[in-house]
Amino acid sequence: MNRKQLSVFFILLIAYAICAFVTYTFFLDQLTAFIGIPMPDMGVSPIVLGLANAGIVLVLYGLAGLTGYWFARKLGLPGIYSEDGSWGRWALIPLGLGFVCGLAIIVGDLVFAPINGFGHFPHPPFPVSILASFSAGIGEEIMFRGFVFGLWGFILNWAFKRFNGRTIALWIANVIAALAFGAGHLGTVMVFTGAASLAELNPVLLLEVFLLNGVIGIIAGERYMKDGLVAAAGVHFWTDVFWHVLWGMV
């Protein structure tokens, strides 16, 4: 394993753990007010709760990320970052793509709100919005692009090996990971709408969730294949910044 790649991964992981600690220690009231569900009294101080969540991040996402990195190496992908690319490929390009994706979500929210049976999606209050953007950009990319994409890419590449179908395998894995990414937001949607099951959700709302999140997932996956996890996380982070932070303030 490449030590430089792993060093960058652990920097991302620690940054995510710090965000989790800060969120649950100092902004839990804002977070629960945004979600609309009060946090049950667990009999521990906010600091202990923050440390517990940071520990969960380090263990769960650490294992998922290392497994995803192993898949990436087996698939011949960059892994954490592209070592033969310029910094613009994992910094400037994700910024530009994040702006485009953020704009697409804003337009999509405006188009779907009158017909989805729910209305406009809410935004976390600042500074929870920036913490959430940072956490989602790292954590969800580790899980969906690193682990889910890697797992399916590994399985499909093995299945298509005799046909030299590596490219097809990777793009199918990208679509699967994007759909899983969309499905990962359904729990939050059910909380916001008060739905007890998926059957209670408006079909237009389901289409909106999978379409908009799926587009982000596909684009982040394309960057992951070319420039690694850092680039995918950058696309996700800047998308959320434009959507949740800046548009949320507007």
d(CA 73, CA 6): 12
| Predicted confidence (pLDDT) per residue in 217-227, tens digit | 999 999 999 99
Residue type, 46: P
Say if residue 197 is exposed, middle or buried (CB neighbours under 10 Å; 0-12, 13-18, 19+): exposed
pLDDT band, residue 161 (cuts 50/70/90): confident
What is the average pLDDT value for the chain, to the nearest integer?
Answer: 93
Domain boundaries, the chain: 3-249
Tokens at 211, concatenated: 């379409």
- Which DSSP letter does residue 121 get? P
Residue 198's region, left for phi above 0, alpha for psi from -120 to 50, else beta, is: alpha
What is the mean predicted confidence (pLDDT) over 176-189? 95
In this structure, the number of other CB atoms found within 10 A of the CB of residue 250 comes to 6
Helix (H, G, I), strand (E, B) or coil at 38: coil
Question: Are the beta carbons of 158 and 75 closer than 8 angstroms?
Answer: no
Is the distance from CB of 141 to CB of 220 less than 8 angstroms? yes
- For 2, list phi and psi in degrees, rounded to 5: -80, 120
* Per-residue confidence band for 44, with pLDDT thresholds at 50, 70 and 90: confident
Cα angle 246, 130, 15; round to 5: 150
Model confidence at 249, pLDDT cuts 50, 70, 90, reads confident
DSSP assignment of 77-107, as one string?
--TTS-TTS-HHHHTHHHHHHHHHHHHHHHH
118-131 pLDDT, tens digit each: 999 999 999 999 99
Neighbour count for residue 156 (Cβ, 10 Å): 20
Structure tokens belonging to residue 235: 């696309």
Q: Per residue in 84-123, pLDDT tens? A: 767 777 788 999 999 999 999 999 999 999 999 999 999 9
Instruction: Give residue 31's pLDDT band: very low, low, confident or very high (50, 70, 90).
Output: confident
* Position 19 pLDDT exceeds 70: yes
Residue 40: exposure state from Cβ atoms within 10 A (0-12, 13-18, ≥19): exposed
Between 99 and 38, name the one with better pLDDT: 99
Lowest mean pLDDT among 30-39, 92-101, 182-191, 234-243: 30-39
Query: How large a percentage of the chain has pLDDT more than 70?
Result: 97
Confidence of residue 162 (pLDDT cuts 50, 70, 90): confident
CB 190: neighbour CB atoms within 10 A?
15
Please give the share of the chain, as a percent, with pLDDT higher than 90.
80
Q: What is the pTM for the complete model shown?
A: 0.94
Interval 189-227: pLDDT, tens: 999 998 889 999 999 999 999 999 999 999 999 999 999
Residue 165 phi, psi (nearest 5) = -100, 40
pLDDT band per the 50, 70, 90 thresholds, residue 83:
confident
| Residue 114 parent element (H or E) | none
